[in-house]
Amino acid sequence: MNKIKKQNMIISAALKVFSKQGFYNTTIAQIAQDIGMSVGNFYNYFPSKKILARAAIKFVTKKLANSLAYINNKEISQQEKMHIFVGEYFGFIQKYPEMIEYFFRVYLSNRELFCEEDNCGFALAKEFINEVERYIQDGVDNGEFRDKNFFVAFSSIAGILGGMTFLSGEHVFQDSIDIYRDEVAETIYNSLK
């Protein structure tokens, strides 16, 4: 198995443990044991738990970035793109709940782990943020969206999806989150118009 695949396997295992126990209650030994690896070998891939935590957030946001990049490349309206993305995002949070739980339980709760001088947490999600920015700018360029402050527009997307993710994770919905897809997509789209 090549180094990248092994790192991804370690990250996937770490996400499951981090999402259940949090960052500080998780040990490298637990993660190594879960994947049948010695602690010494583990350190060949990630020299510290903090570096692993940073790699994990990049891993999660890269998956979302790849999905949105694929959608952004389609020759369809921004409205259609948002419907597709919301559907894929809801599928993602159902398929990988540990990744979303990690985002809320570790990333948002332990900001000190993700900041190094000027390179803070926002930079770790750069690929996804760039795709959101591209989505918004394409909508401005084609006349579907008003030109507004990027952070306000970004918050319209991330805030609504984050809220729905939180409610899903708390098992508030009696039905599948999928039934909200069209309404959520329309709400996000309309907030950008």
Instruction: Calculate the CA 44 to chain-centre distance.
Output: 26
Is a pLDDT exceeding 60 seen at residue 192? yes
pLDDT band at 178 (very low <50, low <70, confident <90, very high): very high
DSSP 162-191: HHHHHHHHTT--SS-GGGGHHHHHHHHHHH
Mean pLDDT over all residues of the chain?
A: 90
Single pTM value for the model:
0.87
Is a pLDDT exceeding 90 seen at residue 136? yes
Is a pLDDT exceeding 90 seen at residue 1? no
**Residue 187 phi, psi dihedral angles, 5° rounding:** -65, -45
Rounded distance, CA 152 to CA 114, Å? 23
**Residue 25 phi, psi dihedral angles, 5° rounding:** -90, 0
Per the listing, tokens 């597709």 go with 84
Fold assignment, 51-192: Tetracycline Repressor; domain 2 (1.10.357)
The tens digit of pLDDT for each residue in 66-125 reads: 999 999 999 999 999 999 999 999 999 999 888 888 877 777 777 777 776 556 667 778
Give the pLDDT confidence score for residue 132 in this predicted structure.
96
Helix pair angle (78-95, 49-72), 10° resolution: 140
